[in-house]
Amino acid sequence: MGQFILPAPKTPSVAIYNSAARFAVRRIFCVGRNYAEHAREMGHDADREPPFFFSKPADAVIGDGATLPFPMQTENLHHEAELVVAIGVGGVEIPAKSALDHIWGYATGNDLTRRDMQAAAKDMRRPWDMAKGFDHSAPCGALHPVADIGHLMRGRITAHVDGELRQTGDIADMIWPVADVIGHLSHLVTLAAGDLIYTGTPAGVGQIKRGQSCTVAITGLSSVTTTFSRQQ
């Protein structure tokens, strides 16, 4: 292979709990409407819908404790507390019964959303990639290896903004559990080591204003806090 014309981009990565090593990120996939109450608050009946997916750029990932400029082109930034699954073994058309064998670890995440931009795109029947895939739109806490904690089947998930509880639920309430999510997604694309999957959010999504901080927590995992400056 010849030399690159420009310097190769830095590989995005996520911290690993209690380790100096890091997890290199290949792609980021997100599941929409995977909690019934959230689907209903967004005006849908997800009980009858198969899972659907959207993507964020790998370099949208940002770690715990970041202070960020407020995102451009929005006045209605929303938090979405999510369980993040890190793929360690790739595959295609993975059966749900063996899907958990492909997981390297779990983390807390925040699927930040420019809700006003998303609503406008939906009204015009346009893609809403820029509502989801903007700079630093994928906060992710430290990954906890399956080898250390096992598989998470349940656990309280919360989001606080400036200390106020906004979202609360349990990851056991997913419409499509993690194994099914991996199975469905691997029938659409080939998964590979380094892929992250944000698995959906419970009800209570809401606005983060300039100058505020948002903390997402899941029982048994490290939390992730993101603070937004008052300036863009």
What pLDDT is attached to residue 153?
93
Domains and CATH numbers, the chain: 13-228 (3.90.850.10)
What average pLDDT score do residues 55-72 get?
A: 97
Residue 62 pairs in a beta bridge with 139
What average pLDDT score do residues 29-55 get?
A: 76
Confidence of residue 43 (pLDDT cuts 50, 70, 90): low
- 65 pLDDT above the threshold of 70: yes
Give residue-wise pLDDT tens across range 178-227. 999 999 999 999 999 999 999 999 999 999 999 999 999 999 999 999 99
What pLDDT is attached to residue 70?
97
What pLDDT is attached to residue 46?
58
Please tell me the distance from the alpha carbon of residue 2 to that of residue 7, in angstroms, as a whole number.
Answer: 13
| Closest of 81, 82, 77, 75 to residue 113, by C-alpha | 77
What pLDDT is attached to residue 33?
87
What average pLDDT score do residues 2-24 get?
A: 95
What pLDDT is attached to residue 45?
62
69 with 229: CB under 8 angstroms? Answer: yes
Give residue-wise pLDDT tens across range 138-163. 999 999 999 999 999 999 999 999 99
Give residue-wise pLDDT tens across range 74-129. 999 999 999 999 999 999 999 999 999 999 999 999 999 999 999 999 999 999 99
Please tell me the distance from the alpha carbon of residue 36 to that of residue 202, in angstroms, as a whole number.
Answer: 8
Q: Indicate the SS3 state at residue 117.
A: helix
